[in-house]
Amino acid sequence: MTTDDPGALMPVDLPTAGSLGLAGGSEKPPASVGRHTAIMAAGTLVSRVLGVVRGMLLTIDIGVTGIAADSYSVANRLPNVMYAVLAAGVLNAVLVPQIVKAFRGGSERTIHRILTLGGVGILVATTVLTLMAEFWVRFYSHTWGPDQTALATAFALWCIPQLFFYGLYTLFGQVLNAREQFGWFMWAPVANNVVAIAGLVVYYKLFGGYAYDENATISTIVSDWTTPKILLVAAVATLGIAAQALILIPPMIKGGYRWRWVWRGPKGELSVVAKVASWALGAVLVEQVTVWFASNVATAATAASSPVDPVTHIASQPDPSIAGSAAYDYALSFFLVPHSLVTISLMTVLFTQMSRHVASGRLDRLREVTSEGVRTIGVFTMFAGAAMIVASPHLVRVLAPSVSGESVDAVAWVLAIMSLGLVPLGASVMLKQAYFALEDARTVFLIQIPMTIALLAVAYAVKGTMDPLWWVRGVALGMLATNLVAVVLRFWGLNRRLGGMDLKRITTTHLKAAVAASLAAVAGVAILMAGPHSWNQEGLSAVMTSAGMSGAISLSMFVVYAAASRFLGISEATAVAQAVTRRLRRVR
């Protein structure tokens, strides 16, 4: 729920001495922060482009709605959920601050111990969880029958081992980030996508693409999935994650860090790690409650759209116009592109800086960095969110070229509603990192509770009052609600903790950006309504037309947004635009 071409506003080279709160005696000049962000954003962009290709091939091979697509979606979600619980939420919360302290104090032994305990712990957990594959499939899709559960379990047995390699990727990556070797962490997923693309191409060559058959039953579809098919989709996906993790070992060694087995240490050495990790784990577990409910809403929507023959008692194919688990995941992957491209890239660089400021007792610097990060991310996500809302049907048609017009509509609706929450998502993630830099995971946990209540309240209100067509859209609307709650509560807490959070400047920047985005949306909608509705059609000509429409809408909206930003005096947008212009001049 929480978690990569809106690259026009990518913060490539920050131009002013005060940018990103690092002015006057900072440990690292702004240009260096901008350079690191540019390298990471470039890696993320390449990875996301390849991810788009991978997603297109996956829809060609197994579709975006239907039995196989939903089965694989649930199975492939399992290692991500487990990773969020066991690795991402805990390790990201504690690793960077602790590793920064260890490197500053010259104690690599502590880092060796963290990696030893973390790596072995994740390996044991992965083994146990893989053996429980069928239980987890049923847990996240309790409305499915035995045939579809069996197919999803077969996928899950090959997908869940991704958890171990996700864990290694996090451990190795955070060591690199703490040593300011940022680029490899964001470029490593390129290897993952290359491997996965190769597997999907081979699948298509051997077995052909997905074709919707309204007369097919769940049993016949499941029986068609042989072991070679499952291996090429699921096992190769896990092989890609392994490549993503293991490719980080050479740069770690080259950077001067060589891991050693260390099991023991001084008493109390990891007490802070354990305390922060326990609260972070609690927050992630609460968050996963929403993931579980969202997954079951999505699978219930699929089941509700699969009529059962009253004579044979055999369920037919689900209605392709109703978004299910796969459609939700596909929309989420689109939604996270701009978030990963800029928000995560910038946040990863700044988190190291934030941790250093806390270690040095400079809370004023932490406040400056956090404020600048929220404003810079907000200026970008305001435009990206508006563009994705307007162009969503054409974008989905381009990125899912082989699916029906009904399936395109199903995904596009979910994507558009999700995109309303892109700005609060970016702000909430940035604010959460400030708490982790302060080693205050307890507050993160407490705030996660009302966030979860907000999402469930909205999602289940929609499910209880509306047609299954709207159930997954209700989950997307719940995501907006949860991120709004997160921004308000996290900002309020930091405002008290840091003695102010530059509220006036942050609010002014976001209001100006909202006005600029609204004007840009008017231009985009005009083009959308005047142009052909090619997303409802199929074939190469429809895909090419939608590609042209996506480009026209995005370009027109960017021009209007840039002009309005300049007129309104949005300094963050002007600074980024100047940095992009300088970079283009260097290329020439």
Inform me whether the pLDDT recorded for 101 exceeds 70: no
Asked, for residue 18, whether it belongs to a domain, the answer is no
Name which residue leads in pLDDT, 397 or 340.
Answer: 397
| pLDDT per residue as tens digits for the range 83-98 | 766 655 555 555 656 6
pLDDT of residue 15: 28
Angle at 205 between CA 201 and CA 210, to 5 degrees: 85
Core vs surface per residue 381-419: b (16+ CB within 10 A) or e: bbbbbbbbbbbbbbbbbbbbbbbbbebbbbbbbbbbbbb
Instruction: Write out pLDDT tens, residues 549-586.
Output: 999 999 999 999 999 998 998 887 766 555 444 444 44
pTM as predicted: 0.67
Helix (H, G, I), strand (E, B) or coil at 315: strand
pLDDT digits (tens, 9 = 90+) for 359-375: 778 888 888 888 888 99
| Structural contact between residues 491 and 432, judged by C-beta atoms closer than 8 angstroms | no
Is the confidence at residue 4, as pLDDT, over 50? no
Determine, yes or no, domain membership for 184. yes
Instruction: Say yes or no to pLDDT of 308 above 70.
Output: no
DSSP string over 253-289: HHTT---------STTTTHHHHHHHHHHHHHHHHHHH
What was the pLDDT predicted at 19? 34
Residue with tokens 């991704």, as numbered in its chain: 162
pLDDT band of 103, cuts 50, 70, 90: low
Rounded CA gap, 473 and 466, in Å?
A: 11
Q: What is the pLDDT of residue 337?
A: 80
How do residues 402-450 score in pLDDT, each as one tens digit? Answer: 778 888 888 899 999 999 999 999 999 889 888 888 878 788 888 989 9
Question: How far apart are the C-alpha atoms of 275 and 249, rounded to whole Å?
Answer: 29
Tens of pLDDT along 228-277?
A: 999 999 999 999 999 999 998 888 888 777 777 777 766 655 565 666 66
Sign of the four-CA dihedral 268, 272, 273, 278: positive
The answer to the question of residue 105 being in a domain is yes
Given a cut of 50, whether residue 497 has pLDDT beyond it is yes
In this structure, of 162-166, 317-321, 470-474, the range with the lowest mean pLDDT score is 317-321
pLDDT 10s digits, 457-466: 998 899 888 8
C-alpha distances out from residue 472 to 100, 188, 216, Å: 41, 32, 24
507-557 pLDDT per residue, tens = 999 999 999 999 999 999 999 999 898 888 877 888 899 999 999 999 999
* H or E element at residue 511: helix 503-530
What pLDDT is stored for residue 478 in this prediction? 92
Binned at pLDDT 50, 70 and 90, residue 23 comes out as very low
How far is Cα 586 from Cα 588, in angstroms, rounded to an integer? 5
Largest CA distance in the chain: 78
- Look at residue 327 and tell me if it is in a domain: no
The H or E element that residue 373 is part of is: helix 363-399
481: pLDDT strictly greater than 90: yes
Confidence band of 468 (pLDDT split at 50, 70, 90):
confident
324 occurs within a structural domain: no
Look up the domain containing 210 and give its range: 58-269
Predicted confidence band of residue 212 (pLDDT cuts 50, 70, 90) = low
pLDDT of residue 580: 46
In this prediction, residue 563 carries a pLDDT of: 92
Burial of 180 (0-12, 13-18, 19+ CB in 10 A): middle
DSSP string, 84-135: IIIIIHHHHHHHHHHHHHHHHTT-HHHHHHHHHHHHHHHHHHHHHHHHTHHH
Q: Which residue has the higher pLDDT, 11 or 318?
A: 318
Q: What pLDDT was estimated at residue 88?
A: 54
Hunting for tokens 């350079």 — which residue is that?
A: 35
Q: How many domains does the chain have?
A: 1
Among residues of the chain, what percentage have pLDDT more than 90?
Answer: 26
- Whether 64 is covered by a domain: the verdict is yes
User: What mean pLDDT do residues 183-192 have?
Assistant: 80
Tell me, yes or no, whether 6 lies in a domain: no
Q: Which comes out higher in pLDDT, residue 92 or 293? A: 293
**pLDDT over threshold 50, residue 190:** yes
Spatial neighbors of 569 by CB under 8 A, at least 6 apart, are 512
* 163 assigned to some structural domain: yes
Average pLDDT for 166-185: 75
Burial tier of 320 (Cβ tally within 10 Å: 0-12, 13-18, 19+): buried
